[in-house]
Structure 1
Amino acid sequence: MLASATSAENRAGILAMLVGMALFVVNDAMMKLASAHFPTGQMLLVRGVFATAAVLAIVFALGEARKLGRLAQPFVAARALIEAVISFLFITALARAPLADLTAILQATPIIVTLLLVVLGLERVGWRRWVAILVGFAGVLLIVRPGTVAFDVNAMLALAAAVLVAVRDLITRLIHADTPSIVVVLGTTVTVGVVGPLIGGALGESWQPVLRAETLLLVVAAVLYGCGNMAVVMAFRKADVSAVSPFRYASVVFALAIGFSVFGEFPDAIALAGFALVVGAGLYAWHRERIRRHAALGQTARGREESGS
């Protein structure tokens, strides 16, 4: 059992999560700006080269180079491959759809994770969490609005990415504990940088000259992407998961602010209502999960006391 974090460690974890979410959203904004000049596969390759160089330097600085062989572990490789597909889907949608809308759709991931656990028979869910799942689904429907002009292939790409993020998170739980997080991040940056352009090539993308000022956007995105991954890793490394997880939803606020200030995008009232439902349902599902775990820990403690008496 993991030891409970101190208040100071939880505060540091929350700060790291907020920083990580901000970095990821700014990274998305850089990629959206660059998408006016480059196709998705080419962007993922250029960003991947710089991100891999930065993460690899961190691997050596931390003395984890001897564990690079862990990249070949099935769950590490599977997670990286899924992340590559997620990146391609999301960046493709990001080139043509509002940043805040797509970011909000991704926040349905905790709800999708719960649903997958039920479908796979790994967890039983009570009626309260089922209500949260249905409310979160209703929120996504308000954002994508199937059957209206607001609904398009980009919304479907974001939904597909959200489902894959849920699968990725479940696979992450299966990675052996002795595999350093920075090695997992390295596997991700390498795979996204390789698989992304392969998918783009298969779809017939036409690449553009790289020696242009807009390439600097991808360099900045690479630094933000690598630092964002490190911040999230730091957030979960010592802090309690239950303490830092809710702050993932700060990305919606950041996306709204950047979408409005940089791209002049602002969701209408219906989409904003959808944002509120998705975030609210996710927070409530997290709250119920926290109660369930506390109850399970209490039962375990009582069982130990009774067996010791």
Structure 2
Amino acid sequence: MQERTDKIALAIVISIFALILFDLMGLIIKHLSPRYSAAELSAYRNLFGLVPSVIALWLNATWRRGGRSLRIRQWKLAAARGIAVTFAQLMFYISLGLMAFATTTTISYSTALFTTALAYPLLRERVGLVRWSAVALGFVGVVMIMRPGSESFSWYMLLPLGASALYAYSGVVARLIDPDVPTALFNLYSSVFAAVGSFLLALSVSRFTPIASLNDLGFIVLMGMFGGSAVLCLVVSFRMTEPSNLAPFSYFGIPIAFVLGWVFFDEAPIDDLLPGALLIVLAGLLIIYREQRLGHAARVAKRADRSRREGKL
């Protein structure tokens, strides 16, 4: 029992480290945005982010035991996920260049709400009143942050919301892969399609800007490595324990983003974020709590069914 507790604690630490890496990636994107387009930065992030994706696959024991095959039946599903990530990144990166860092990050945490909303049409998963109420509560929080109709509202506030919807789609789609396909292999496929898609998108909307300095090149490499390493850390943490044990800690990213935005860009949009951010967090935690209860009930029912079958033998 102690060993399991220690493993969960380590998984939580790794997942929080992933949040820090994601936020550091966002800081670099915001820093580089005045000189490079969002499409360019997305392309660079996906290119250098392939390195941790390859490492994640190489370290995957299931893939190595299975003969190290690189073929998957659902490559079209991986392509759809990669394309969704391409456009999600484009919208999120544009918003990072136009909005306060903490505000963009906080709105992006509506991903959990979109994930719940997409669960029924894509997975045919029953979504009850509690989770729909949480979705409604979370979107009230988003509206309070965006303040449509006020002087502070602008169309680009919709960008992180659109990015969240596409990120949620990519997460839900990942649950449709065949059980025997290693997550790392599917993630690598998606990453390759995202890299190709982001480069084509960058070439179609603008030419690549010459990298101004070695300093900028270093930031670009770090951006990709931070993003790819964050994904790798999340893969590792989710393999160590159940997602429900980690999900509540994902909201640590909001105060982390606020502190980083304040330190590096002298932004402190606390009046814009409250109380909307609290409603988003509350809604997310309510969804997590409900999923934990449903998961626990399903495990209890499964154990009871197994006991009945064993009793008949």
Same fold per superposition (TM over 0.5): yes
Q: How far apart, CA to CA, are the structure 1 residues paired with 2:191 and 2:101?
A: 22
What residue in structure 2 maps to residue 19 of structure 1? 17
Q: Does residue 87 of structure 1 match 2:89?
A: yes
What residue in structure 1 maps to residue 291 of structure 2? 289
Query: Deviations for 1:269-297, whole angstroms, at most 9, x for unmatched residues?
Result: 24221111101110111101111221222
Alignment of 1:33-52 (within 5 A): 33-52=31-50
**Number of matched residues?**
304
Alignment of 1:51-70 (within 5 A): 51-56=49-54, 59-60=57-58, 66-70=68-72
- DSSP-derived class of the 2:88 partner: helix
Question: Could you say if the C-alpha distance between residues 47 and 12 of structure 1 is closer, same or farther in structure 2, counting changes exceeding 3 Å?
Answer: same
| RMSD, matched Cα | 2.4
- DSSP-derived class of the 1:249 partner: helix
- DSSP-derived class of the 1:67 partner: coil
- DSSP-derived class of the 2:176 partner: coil
Amino-acid identity (%): 26
125-134 or 167-176, which moves further after superposition? 125-134
Question: Could you say if the C-alpha distance between residues 150 and 197 of structure 1 is closer, same or farther in structure 2, counting changes exceeding 3 Å?
Answer: farther
8 Å CA contact 2:134–2:287 kept in 1: the answer is yes
112-121 or 262-271, which moves further after superposition? 112-121
Q: How far apart, CA to CA, are the structure 2 residues paired with 1:99 and 1:267?
A: 9
What residue in structure 2 maps to residue 199 of structure 1? 201
Give the aligned residue type for 2:19.
Answer: M
Question: Could you say if the C-alpha distance between residues 206 and 289 of structure 1 is closer, same or farther in structure 2, counting changes exceeding 3 Å?
Answer: same
TM-score with structure 1 setting the length: 0.89
| Structure 2 unpaired stretches of 5+ | none
8 Å CA contact 2:74–2:177 kept in 1: the answer is no
TM-score with structure 2 setting the length: 0.88
Q: How far apart, CA to CA, are the structure 2 residues paired with 1:233 and 1:258?
A: 24
Divergent runs of 4+, >6 A: none
Query: Deviations for 1:140-169, whole angstroms, at most 9, x for unmatched residues?
Result: 101111112332222111111111111111
Q: How far apart, CA to CA, are the structure 2 residues paired with 1:118 and 1:48?
A: 30
8 Å CA contact 1:87–1:192 kept in 2: the answer is no
8 Å CA contact 2:46–2:198 kept in 1: the answer is no
| Structure 1 unpaired stretches of 5+ | none
